[in-house]
Amino acid sequence: MPRGSSGGSDVPPERSVARLLTVAEVASVMRVSRMTVYRLIRRSQLKAIRVGRNYRVRSTDLDEYLESQAVTGV
C-alpha cells in the first residue's frame, strides 16, 4: 500500500456520495403521495436528478428540504 493511503475508497471525504432515493421512497419518508413529490420537483422546491425518465433525490437534498420546511415559534 502506498504511503499516505488510507486503503479506503478513492472518493475524498468531502465528496462522499449521498444515497439516491426514488420518488416512491421520498413519498414514503414524507408520508405524502408520489404526485406531491413530483410537484415539489417540478416547482424546483426539491432538488432531483433525472436518470432516464425517472427522478432520484439525494438523501442530503431531502434532508435540506425538510429542514427548510421546519416550523418554529408556533
- Res 63 pLDDT > 70: yes
Domains recognised in the chain with CATH numbers? 17-68 (3.90.105)
CA distance 16 to 2: 22
Q: What is the pLDDT of residues 10-45, one digit of tens each?
A: 656 666 778 999 999 999 999 999 999 999 999 999
CA distance 47 to 41: 6
Mean pLDDT of 52-66: 97
Tell how far CA 6 is from the center of its chain: 28
Mean of pLDDT values over 49-68? 97
Average pLDDT, the chain: 88
| Closest listed residue to residue 37, CA positions, set 63, 51, 59, 45 | 45
pLDDT of residue 2: 54
Q: Is the pLDDT of residue 62 over 70?
A: yes
